[in-house]
Amino acid sequence: MDIAIIGASGYTGGELVRLLHYHPEAEVVCATSRAMDGKPLYAVHPHLRGFTDLRFTNPDVDAVDAEFAFLAVPHTAAMAYAGSLLERGIRTVDLSADYRLPRDIYEAVYGVEHTDYFTAPYGLPELHRDEVRGADFVANPGCFPTGATLAAAPLAGRAHTIIYDAKTGVSGAGANPSATTHYPNVGDNFTAYKWTSHRHVAEMRMEIARLGSSARCYFTPHLLPVNRGILTTAHLLLDEPMEQEEVEARYADFYDGEYFVRLQKPALASVRGSNFCDIGVESEGSRIVVVSAIDNLVKGASGQAIQNMNLMCGFEEKLGLDVVALLP
């Protein structure tokens, strides 16, 4: 299957090329970038040298020739591509935020008018597999909502309040340098940001509601001086207490058969480079503490996008993603 990656010069684009190299049913034939047009992919992604001779191109959206596309572009940019791709029968996973939320919520959260809105399945396979399977277009979840929602989902209906506290690696800010990601400001440091106003909380609240929960949901992210990974601590406050054995049984039953969710003590090093989400739980009676770990560039972005592609195209769900994490 011929694959186009629109916006391939960033971290998620590079991870898509890396992971798809091992996918037996996929071949990347188009990798777009305005700034890098004509240059080989390894000029930006040196880890790909020797694995691909592909060069960046900058075609008009109507000239993109592929059977499947990944939109690895910023929010507001994806909506300029999505309609054309669908009209020409190119199945697509969008890694931006443009189709994750209902239109009114998207416009309120992102402060822009959506110019080409349509509804799309929210591509968190562990919760929405049936909607994703066979779809023509899927909205890939944000990295923070992936780790947070998987942590809370089994007990969301029992909670009246859910508080997410997440720590992320610097790659979550993207490849473009800024004062926030400048090494002297990040190294040997640890900071909270957007304490009450991060855009991803809208996705978290949407998914909690879809699980049938009326719980209040709060989120604060922190920036870790590491390259990749998200460690999320979810505090689930319950009306009725639950014992440790009952909580563990609930999670084991909820995620039974889910290959990419592992119930074990979470650590960033245990999921780095992989599509796994590791989850650990501990009961304090009416407060349940759940910790999840994901690689923000894989299960939080490119890996989950390929997982969705597999479902959309009828492939085995873990095809191309059955890789062991990279220990330090």
CA distance 14 to 16: 5
The pLDDT value recorded for residue 49 is: 96
Does residue 77 sit in the same domain as residue 175? no
Q: Is 265 within the bounds of a domain?
A: yes
The pLDDT value recorded for residue 176 is: 74
The pLDDT value recorded for residue 269 is: 95
Task: Find where tokens 């944000």 sit.
Answer: 142
- Exposure of 268 by Cβ count < 10 A (0-12 exposed, 13-18 middle, 19+ buried)? buried
Q: Is 196 within the bounds of a domain?
A: yes
Tell me the pLDDT tens digit for each residue of 281-315.
999 999 999 999 999 999 999 999 999 999 999 99
For residue 47, give its domain range: 2-120
The pLDDT value recorded for residue 177 is: 72
- Beta strand pairing status for 277-283 and 2-6? unpaired
Does residue 45 sit in the same domain as residue 10? yes
In this prediction, what percent of the chain has a pLDDT beyond 90? 92
Q: Is 326 within the bounds of a domain?
A: no
Q: What is the arithmetic mean of pLDDT over 20-27? A: 97
Residue 140: how many other CB atoms lie within 10 Å:
30
The pLDDT value recorded for residue 174 is: 72
Does residue 113 sit in the same domain as residue 150? no
pLDDT-derived band at 172, boundaries 50, 70, 90: confident
Tell me the pLDDT tens digit for each residue of 73-110.
999 999 999 999 999 999 999 999 999 999 999 999 99
Does residue 34 sit in the same domain as residue 168? no
Does residue 96 sit in the same domain as residue 14? yes
Q: Is 248 within the bounds of a domain?
A: yes
Residues belonging to the active site: 143
Amino acid at 228: R
Does residue 167 sit in the same domain as residue 283? yes
Contact indicator for 231, 293 with CB cutoff of 8 Å = yes
pLDDT-derived band at 42, boundaries 50, 70, 90: very high
Q: Is 216 within the bounds of a domain?
A: yes
Task: CATH number of the domain at 106, please.
Answer: 3.40.50.720
Strands (E), the chain: 2-6, 27-32, 56-57, 68-71, 91-94, 137-139, 159-168, 191-192, 216-223, 230-242, 261-263, 277-283, 285-294
Contact indicator for 166, 148 with CB cutoff of 8 Å = yes
Tell me the pLDDT tens digit for each residue of 118-161.
999 999 999 999 999 999 999 999 999 999 999 999 999 999 99
Number of domains in the chain: 2
Does residue 158 sit in the same domain as residue 77? no
Q: Is 320 within the bounds of a domain?
A: no
Share the mean pLDDT of the chain: 95
Does residue 105 sit in the same domain as residue 18? yes
Tell me the pLDDT tens digit for each residue of 202-245.
999 999 999 999 999 999 999 999 989 999 999 999 999 999 99
**Residue 185 pLDDT exceeds 80:** no
Does residue 92 sit in the same domain as residue 154? no
Task: CATH number of the domain at 180, please.
Answer: 3.30.360.10
Closest CA to 133 of 121, 119, 145: 121
Contact indicator for 272, 326 with CB cutoff of 8 Å = yes
Q: Is 306 within the bounds of a domain?
A: no
Q: Is 311 within the bounds of a domain?
A: no
Does residue 164 sit in the same domain as residue 280? yes
